[in-house]
Chain A
């Protein structure tokens, strides 16, 4: 492979990784916007989404991928709702530290529950590895086509939902000002439930795409959480399009960065970018809160 297409391939890989980070970050930033807290258990929605698909594709269900996706996404949505119902709703008015530690505890619980049921070993969905198709001199596997296609579909769906539907408008109103939204007669409970479902489903879609492209393991959620955080920070907290852009940027930075530094540090790039952003504009995030 000549050097130009090598670099192009790197950029392409960055975009692919970035699509997945963007899906993670959009869900995270949505909950942040609506409920004003960082859901540390978001990574576990990513991981459980992927494992639910594994569950429905394996015995005793044995469903094909295209069918198994639907119950997997539905279950992850329910998991998001269950998280809110059992943990976050009772302490919605508690202080931040309480919320944050509860989310952390939930994350530990769900991560180890997956390990308890499926073991710590790396698993795959059992598709054979095929060489990618050549496309304009670049290699793309079927899974990677799916990543790009599904991400575009998700972005369109999110756009339609948030900017064209009543439910989306009420969620945005909530994100701007909860109390004002409530006295304007918006059904805040419904909007919060919808936000959890959307956040969980986006996480599951991202998790499934990631697992299709690589593999499944119980740590896959928490490992990607920091990247999703970095992406939300780049985009501005609570900003959906910012999260999309941030995710793509992190994906690109990681893959291009590996050309210059040891691959062992690839997962640290997102963190370094995060710290650099904080140093460059440290008060952006602080100024946004009104509590």
Chain B
């Protein structure tokens, strides 16, 4: 039972993470390969603030603001780049962030990580048990889903798609593609920060090892496999892949196997990405009206 609840909490957190990436990759066509950086910024900001005694109700908005601000600041130079090079710039940013976390020991305790992050408390309720945390994280997942659905269905969302499908045409119609991309990136960063906050207060321990390229690949795979540019795609992808990843972890295999299991699992993820791109680039759920 606990395993099931744990699975649901992780799925809810990764669904938020994937939905946020979907705004960028799916709806705006931005190749963000450093999305984990914003997850990490959210996690560290909220963890550091609550460890300093600031209540969760203040640390949460502060963390979201930080993630959004960093996304905004990074996107100003990075979005002047076309496609692939934007991917490289974000990849580099992810690495830089990990370097900062590792080196600024006075702030982040470096590779030691931050233990004992308090459970969140909102309106007098402490979310300290699994069922309660599930309520909190699925509540936020629902909120994220609704907000992002609203954003994407609004005229703003249609402009993002226009920028994705034909930037020149969007510009001719008077849409400033660069500004739309910055806004999309900032929105994505805020919600990645939210996923990070929920993650930090769920595991109660975070370290630089939690925010590697592997996480970015996982969330990218979730979006791509579920169906980029769709509402339910990232959620479906999160369910499938998190169940796969977490159940492998609970398989009680002999220790000499577990050493091989990590790389093997990553090999499967990598292969899945390749196979999907070659045979079904649109993912499980196909976007309506999308060209093959």
Which residues of A approach B to under 8 Å, CB–CB?
37-38, 40, 87, 90-91, 94, 96-102, 104-113, 115-116, 119-120, 222, 226, 229, 233, 262, 264-265, 267-268, 270-271, 274-275, 278-279, 282-283, 285-286, 289
Residues of B contacting A: mostly: helix
Q: Which of A97, A109, A226, A275 contacts B270 (CB 8 A)?
A: A109
In this complex, the interface size class of chain B, counting residues with CB under 8 Å from chain A, is 35 or more
Question: Contact string, B71-93, partner A, CB cutoff 8 A, digits 1/0?
Answer: 00000011011111101110111
Q: Tell me the complex Cα distance, A169–B248, Å.
A: 52
| B271 contacts the other chain (CB 8 A) | yes
Chain B residues within an 8 Å CB radius of A37: 84
The 6 A-B residue pairs with the shortest CB-CB distance, nearest first, are A105-B273, A109-B270, A108-B270, A282-B80, A102-B277, A271-B92
Q: A112-B262, A264-B103, A278-B77 are in contact. List 13 more A-B contacts (CB 8 A).
A: A40-B87, A87-B274, A99-B277, A102-B277, A108-B266, A112-B263, A115-B262, A271-B95, A278-B80, A279-B80, A282-B77, A282-B81, A286-B82
How many Cβ-Cβ contacts under 8 Å join chain A to chain B? 137
Closest-CB distance, A281 to chain B (whole angstroms): 10
Using a CB–CB cutoff of 8 Å, the interface residues on chain B facing chain A are: 25, 29, 31, 33, 77-78, 80-85, 87-89, 91-93, 95-96, 99, 102-103, 213, 217, 220-221, 224, 259-260, 262-264, 266-267, 269-274, 276-278, 281
Which of A115, A279, A285 contacts B82 (CB under 8 A)?
A285
Residue of B nearest to A264 (CB): B103
- B264 surroundings in chain A (CB, below 8 A): 112, 116
The smallest beta-carbon distance between A189 and chain B, in angstroms, is 19
Instruction: Chain A residues near B91: list those with CB within 8 A.
Output: 226
B81 touches A278 (CB 8 A): yes
Of the listed residues A104, A106, A110, A283, the one surrounded by the most CB atoms of chain B closer than 10 A to its CB is A104
